[in-house]
């Protein structure tokens, strides 16, 4: 399993638009093979910064999503709202305090 973390910084006036895009897209993301969870977090000190966490069975599942028409459409709308360049990481869980 891998977790894809994406940091997104928006112009303050674009936050409601992004939240609407995320809400309308999350079920579509979950419908992709290998995606088990999608979460959205907002920075407590800078409300213009958001993080998405998506959980994928394998890297090829994430890549299938990232090369899809669905992703291109969602990303096309989202990137117009940015105040800063997005950052992304693919990570694997090493340890956890919760049982699996």
2-91 classified as CATH 3.30.70.100: yes
- Counting residues of the chain whose pLDDT is more than 70, the rounded percentage is 98
- In this predicted structure, what is the pLDDT of residue 98? 75
pTM beyond cutoff 0.85:
yes
- Counting residues of the chain whose pLDDT is more than 90, the rounded percentage is 93
- In this predicted structure, what is the pLDDT of residue 100? 60
Q: Own/partner pairs for 33-36, CB < 8 Å, 24+ apart?
A: 33/57, 33/61, 33/64, 34/58, 34/60, 34/61, 34/62, 34/64, 35/61, 35/65, 36/1
For residue 96, what pLDDT band results from cuts at 50, 70 and 90? confident
- In this predicted structure, what is the pLDDT of residue 80? 96
Q: Once rounded to an integer, what is the mean pLDDT over residues 73-97? A: 95
């Amino acid at each position: 399993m891998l977790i894809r973390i994406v940091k997104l910084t928006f112009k303050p006036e674009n936050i409601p638009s992004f939240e609407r895009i995320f809400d309308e897209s999350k079920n579509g993301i979950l419908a992709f093979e290998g995606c088990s969870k999608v979460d959205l977090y907002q920075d407590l000190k800078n409300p213009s910064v958001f993080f998405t966490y998506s959980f994928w069975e394998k890297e090829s599942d994430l890549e299938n999503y990232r090369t899809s028409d669905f992703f291109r459409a969602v990303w096309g709308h989202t990137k117009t709202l940015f105040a800063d360049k997005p950052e992304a990481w693919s990570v694997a869980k090493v340890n956890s305090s919760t049982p699996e």
